[in-house]
Each structure stands twice: as structure tokens, then as C-alpha cells.
Amino acid sequence: MPELVTRPEWAEENDDDRRLLRLVERGHAEGSIDPAMTKEWLLQLLWSLLYTAWELTREKTPKHEALTLCLRSLEKVIAVG
């Protein structure tokens, strides 16, 4: 496991996590994010997607392609219906 994810500062929610959770709550309220996807699930999913994109760039995938795949995956997961 990369040292990055074992650091103590990753063990607790930070301001960025809380902002993202509020954004998901707003999306739920507005109907733009599937309510079946909980905010906690989506927070973990986003971190997983970002990690996967980072891993791909280490294996010679261009950064713009990894980012595009990451964002497209997220969009499809949060879509309503």
C-alpha cells in the first residue's frame, strides 16, 4: 500500500471531505445526484477513482485520458435514473 494512504492525516475527515459531502447533499436535494448513492459511498468512490487514475498515469496512460475516464465514471455513477 502506498505510504500516502497510511499517513495519520488521511484517517479523519477534513474540510475538503466535508465540502464534498455538502455538495453531494445539495445534489440529492436538487435531484441531480442519485439518492440511492449515499454521500459516504460517493466520497469513498471518488477517492477510489482518483487513486485508480493516478495508478494509470504511473503505467504510461496520459494524464488527460486518466482524468477523462475518472470523471466519466463518476458522472455515470451519480446520474439519476
* Per-residue model confidence as pLDDT tens digits over 31-75: 999 999 999 999 999 989 999 999 999 999 999 999 999 999 999
* Per-residue model confidence as pLDDT tens digits over 16-30: 889 999 999 999 999
CB 18, CB 26: distance < 8 Å: no
Q: Would you state the pLDDT for residue 14? A: 85
CB 19, CB 46: distance < 8 Å: no
* C-alpha cell of residue 52: 485508480
SS3 content of the chain, % helix, strand, coil (to 5): 75, 0, 25
Give the C-alpha separation, 6 to 20, whole Å. 22
Give the C-alpha separation, 10 to 2, whole Å. 12
To the question of pTM greater than 0.75 for the whole model, the response is: yes
